[in-house]
């Protein structure tokens, strides 16, 4: 939430500073279990269309709605796909393959076992997790023209990619309607459209895991800025904190030196999948992945070092006692 407040403040600051700017129109939508703040410059009419896109994306891909595509696939083991759905599932499978399953869309049986869907949190026994692990593995999802199918017990969760994808759709709608300047905060994931009305980049505050402030500010134009971290959702039991990002290979919540990962790029869904995957990988593997695949990222570790891709180094200003290092 802190990031949302900061972004809106920065955007409004620009508006006040520049009198000739087109007006900002903002709408807040509660979706995907979080708050979306949609701000478009120069057009209020676009907000209805943007809100519909958010609601439609949730209705299609929510894992908790029995009528969604994901809900139907998980219940029946197969589901007819429209072209757009098939393309998204193919992309999710590609991201799973390239990250060697660090991002895995079949993580849902584990998510349920830990109670993250129902908020009835519990620590599953090692035996229970061992039974579930064979159900997790993206290779088990089969896509034929117009049809997705999974073996009995395998269940899909697009929660690791849906907000980033939604950002892509919102940006495309702006392009269709000639809106050249907009910023969307999708529960801490940011999608920018073009630059600010005065032509300068958006200034996106990267939230700190401690929730007390921010790690730094990133200048961004026409890109998605997607952040993953266990601090977004977790529970505590017997003094141990269990986060909502799970290691698909072990079944346990990820614990490593990373506290958050932010990925920047033109494709929101890819940024979202990679942010989740890099968080799972840990700092060394994540740095290697970013260099090998030319991924632009900010990796924040528990010693307050922010590992920044070379291409982003000049655009990122650390705040307080955070230090930046090129990854």
Q: Is 252 exposed, middle or buried (0-12, 13-18, 19+ CB in 10 A)?
A: middle
Query: Binding pattern to ligand AMP, positions 68-107, x when CB under 6 A?
Result: -----------------------------------xxx-x
Instruction: Using the rule CB under 5 A, give the single segment among 59-67, 168-176, 224-232, 310-318 that binds Mg ion.
Output: 224-232
Residue selected from 129, 259, 272, 289 as contacting Mg ion according to rule CB under 5 A: 272
Task: Pick one of ligand AMP, Mg ion, none as the site partner of residue 60 (Cβ within 5 to 8 A by kind).
Answer: none
Task: Pick one of Mg ion, ligand AMP, none as the site partner of residue 186 (Cβ within 5 to 8 A by kind).
Answer: none
d(C-alpha 92, C-alpha 69), whole Å: 15
Residue selected from 11, 245, 259, 312 as contacting ligand AMP according to rule CB under 6 A: 245
Residue selected from 85, 173, 267, 272 as contacting ligand AMP according to rule CB under 6 A: 272
d(C-alpha 115, C-alpha 123), whole Å: 8
Q: Is 62 exposed, middle or buried (0-12, 13-18, 19+ CB in 10 A)?
A: buried
* Per-position DSSP letters for 234-262, written without gaps between them: EEEETTEEEES-B-TTTSSBP-SSEEEEE
Q: With binding defined as CB under 6 A, does residue 159 bind ligand AMP? A: yes
Q: Minimum distance between the CB of residue 312 and Mg ion, rounded to whole angstroms?
A: 18
d(C-alpha 259, C-alpha 256), whole Å: 8
* Number of residues in contact with Mg ion under rule CB under 5 A: 5
C-alpha gyration radius of the chain: 19
Q: Which residues bind ligand AMP (CB under 6 A)?
A: 103-105, 107, 111, 116, 157, 159-160, 228, 232, 244-246, 248, 272, 275-276, 280
């Amino acid at each position: 939430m802190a990031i949302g407040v900061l972004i809106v403040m920065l955007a409004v600051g620009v508006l006040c500073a520049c009198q000739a700017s087109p007006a900002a129109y903002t709408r807040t939508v509660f979706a995907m279990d979080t708050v979306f703040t949609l701000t478009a410059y120069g057009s209020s009419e676009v907000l209805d269309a943007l809100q519909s896109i958010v609601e439609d994306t949730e209705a299609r891909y929510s894992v908790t709605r029995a009528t969604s595509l994901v809900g139907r696939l998980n219940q029946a083991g197969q589901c007819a796909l429209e072209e757009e759905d098939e393309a998204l599932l193919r992309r999710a499978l590609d991201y799973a393959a390239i990250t060697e399953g660090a991002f895995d869309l079949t993580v849902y049986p584990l998510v349920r076992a830990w109670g993250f869907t129902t908020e009835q949190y519990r620590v599953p026994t090692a035996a229970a997790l061992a039974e579930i692990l064979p159900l997790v593995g993206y290779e088990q999802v089969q896509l034929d023209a117009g049809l997705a199918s999974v073996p009995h017990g395998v269940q899909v969760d697009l929660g690791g990619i849906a907000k980033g994808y939604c950002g892509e759709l919102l940006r495309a709608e702006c392009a269709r309607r000639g809106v050249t300047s907009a910023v969307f905060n999708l529960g801490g994931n940011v999608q920018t459209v073009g630059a600010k009305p005065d032509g300068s980049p958006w200034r996106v505050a990267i939230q700190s895991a401690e929730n007390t402030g921010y790690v730094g500010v990133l200048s961004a134009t026409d890109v998605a800025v997607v952040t993953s971290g266990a601090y977004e959702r977790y529970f505590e039991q017997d003094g141990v904190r269990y986060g909502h990002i799970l290691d698909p290979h072990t079944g346990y919540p990820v614990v490593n030196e990373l506290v958050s990962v932010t990925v920047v790029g033109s494709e929101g869904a890819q940024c979202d999948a990679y942010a989740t995957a890099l968080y799972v990988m840990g700092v060394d593997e994540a740095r290697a992945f970013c260099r090998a695949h030319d991924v632009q990222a900010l990796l924040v570790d528990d010693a307050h070092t922010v590992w920044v891709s070379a291409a982003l180094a000049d655009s990122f200003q650390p705040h307080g006692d955070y230090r930046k290092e090129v990854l």
